[in-house]
Amino acid sequence: MKAIRSPSRHAGFSLIELMVVVAIVAILAAIVYPNYTDTVRRSNRSDARATLLQIAQSLERYFTENNTYAGATLGTAAATDVWPTTTSTENRYTISFSVTPSATAYTLQAAATGFQDKDTECATMTLSHLGVRAPAACW
């Protein structure tokens, strides 16, 4: 007849093994998280690009009808609005524009806000009536 023996060691993880796993996970998280947030910020730039291009199209339509950019507005609920708000589609950028004194040229500007303002490389993106885009690396 076999004798039933009680195991001398209980199955499971020791505290040391658990701490090693926690340390490895912490190191991986410290490396991965900054890269992830940087990638998210870079992908959010498309919000500014798309909004600036849509407003540029609206400004060109306005110019075609009025032969001037003077009087065009953003976010005022007036008939002269070329864009319904002063923010980008996803609310990650504040949009503004300036018209030259001759009212035949404009510059659109998208300034990052909220989480996106930590994108120091492309905190402000611009688009002119000639299609000049700055900073070039952000487009």
The predicted pLDDT at position 3 comes to: 62
Q: Kindly state the average pLDDT of the residues 68-73.
A: 91
Task: Please give the pLDDT value at position 10.
Answer: 67
Domain that holds residue 82: 15-138
Residue 4 lies in a domain: no
Compute the mean pLDDT over every residue in the chain, rounded to the nearest whole number.
Answer: 90
pLDDT at 2 over 80: no
Q: Evaluate whether residue 77 is within a structural domain.
A: yes
Token pair belonging to 67: 């032969």
pLDDT tens-digit readout, 84-101: 999 998 999 999 999 988
Starting at the edge strand that comes first in sequence, how are the strands of the sheet with 106-112 ordered?
A: 93-99, 106-112, 124-128, 133-134
- The residue that leads in pLDDT, 78 or 108, is 108
Q: Count the domains in the chain.
A: 1
Terminal C-alpha separation, the chain: 81
CB 124 within 8 A of CB 111: yes
Query: Do the domain assignments include residue 5?
Result: no
Residues 103 and 120: beta-carbon distance below 8 Å: no
Decide if 74 contacts 96 (C-beta within 8 A).
yes
**DSSP assignment string, 45-105:** HHHHHHHHHHHHHHHHHHHHHHSSSTT-EESS-STTEEESSSB-TTSSEEEEEEE-TTSS-
Band the pLDDT of 5: cuts 50, 70, 90: low
Q: What is the pLDDT of residue 51?
A: 95
